[in-house]
Amino acid sequence: MLTPNWGFSSRWTGLVLFSLVFFWMGSIAYGQSISLADVTAQDGLVEIRLTGGGVTTESFTLTSPTRIVINLEGVRTKVPGLIPGAGMIEQVRYSQFSPTVTRVVLDLLEESSYFVEEIDQGRIVRVRLGSSVNQIQLLPTQPLPTLQVQGEGPLVATSFALPSPERLVVDFKYATLARDLVLPEALGPIARVRTSQFNHETVRVVLDLTMPLAGILEDVEAGVQLALRYKIEKLAWQGGQLLIDTKGPRPQQLKREDGVSWLEFPFTVASTLRLPKGQGVELSSRQEESWFLGVASPGKRIKIISRLGGIALEFLPSALAGVRVVVDPGHGGSDPGAIGSAGYREKDINLAISQYLVRFLKEYGATVQLTRSGDYYLSLAERVAISNGSGAEIFVSIHCNSFGDSSKQGVETFYHAKSPQSKSFAQHVQEQLVSLRPCIDRKAKEGNLYVLRENLALAILTEVAFISNPQEEALLADPEYQQKVGRAIADGIEAFLEKK
């Protein structure tokens, strides 16, 4: 009987059988196929992604040359691979080490501690080089010191505060303490600096404080900084006052924006503080380099009072309360004023803005009268007569600017030199209007205009934008922007009266 010849030598038959056994063993041992999907490297970190299930790892180091070896049990890779490293990682190699183990090798430029994480149920393996915390300094920055921590390798830091006694804690994950570390002496409100190896992968730095403080973590070229900041400890209503507990500097009251008065607390943090409600006052906040508290208190002005442990905000009647104001919408009736390229008429926009202005002035407690409440014509003399006859203390005439060159844009406000206070009045309103948007500040200017010259009241005339400019015409036609203009003029009047 003849034996069939399949064309295989005994050598090739052995290789085929070995391959079948190789994959059979993996399938029997692990029940499902787990494959190496991707390996990436960055400074101090290698991430290994798998498909098909989770994995368990074994790791160790080798020397001459320095290597970190990661064995991935039950993982297959189709072909060996090599990728360039970053930082202390020269390169990363991976291959099928045995039928059931894929091996990943990190070739290092120098010795380093390391940490292995298995996340997403073992589908992602991260190998992170450890850092050595080798220098801690307190920098004498003003008004509060800054903690600076330097190390060999990237530092991964988190911070938090602890009360009773007051402490700030900074944890450095994947780090160890250098043996020869020297701690800085006390500085300002930092009574002592302490360190410890909190666990096998975390260095803890503790600042013992003499007062409640917060800190802002910042990455710097040499490591990590914790910039110390004052903190808002408490915010609460009491007897109609808003009490604010802080050891920081007295806040600066900024200009009102869109009906909100903003107070800046320099070098202060309060981003997680809950704002109390009530008292007919609406509070808001934002955190930047300083902490800003926004206070919307229609008809009331804010007085800042120093008190033990911080400040109090007292809410007094607005400087506009009881003030007689005449608002004059320019043009009207047979006099349309300037007309923009889109067909919007100045007289209509003037009236719309004036009606919003009247609403806000009444909210602030002013007694307000319009020279015209509809679309009809009034002479300049009639407008002045209304103002003088009403006993007005304040007169504001609303207009839109126009020019043959449609690129002209911006805001300007006119006053008459007969009254020393009218310039300051115009400047306050101009400042509020310019703050609404990026535009050319055409300044407060002296103008020999009839409605200003003949008026017994403190009088200004404001050109809120150029209707001859297509972009500004579109803004002027927007009811939302008309409302903002009305609010800005009201805020400018109130700010002027408060300083008067």
Q: Domain ranges in the chain?
A: 20-128, 131-230, 232-317, 324-499
Please, which pLDDT band fits residue 137 given cuts at 50, 70 and 90? very high
> Can 111 be counted among the known catalytic residues?
no
| Mean pLDDT to the nearest integer, 261-269 | 93
Cβ neighbour number for residue 44 with a 10 Å cutoff:
22
Of residues 363 and 2, the one with the higher pLDDT is: 363
DSSP string for 134-203: EEEEEE--SSS-EEEEEEES--EEEEEEETTTTEEEEEEETEEE-TT--PPPPBTTEEEEEEEEEETTEE
Angle (nearest 5°) at CA 212 between 198 and 302:
145
Structure tokens at 198: 């909190």
Q: Class of 324-499 per CATH?
A: alpha beta
Of 301, 304, 320, 262, give the one whose Cα is nearest residue 494.
320
CB atoms within 10 A of CB 2: 4
Instruction: Specify the range with the lowest mean pLDDT, choosing from 147-151, 192-196, 278-282, 438-442.
Output: 278-282
Band of the pLDDT at 121, cuts 50, 70, 90? confident
pLDDT above 90 for 227 = yes
Mean pLDDT (the chain, rounded): 90
- CATH, domain range 20-128: 2.60.40.3500
Task: Give the pair of three-digit tokens for residue 348.
Answer: 């209509």
Residue 325 has pLDDT above 60, yes or no: yes
- Please say if the pLDDT value at position 271 is more than 80: no
Reported confidence tier of residue 7, pLDDT bands at 50, 70, 90:
very low
| Pick from 378, 377, 455: nearest CA to 415 | 455
Greatest mean pLDDT among 28-42, 231-245, 251-265, 388-402: 388-402
Note the pLDDT of residue 211. 94
CATH of domain 131-230: 2.60.40.3500
pLDDT band at 381 (very low <50, low <70, confident <90, very high): very high
DSSP type of residue 8: -
Give residue 32's pLDDT.
54
Q: Do domains 20-128 and 324-499 have the same CATH topology?
A: no
Q: What is the mean pLDDT of residues 163-176?
A: 94
Consecutive H or E run containing 107:
strand 101-108
Whether the per-residue pLDDT at 412 is higher than 90: the answer is: yes
Residue 252: pLDDT band with limits 50, 70, 90: confident
Q: How far apart are CA 330 and CA 13, in angstroms?
A: 102
Q: Which among 460, 478, 457 has a CA at the least distance from the CA of 353?
A: 478
One of 152, 412, 463, 472 is an active-site residue; which one? 463
Residue with tokens 């033990």: 308
Confidence at residue 467, expressed as pLDDT on a 0 to 100 scale: 98
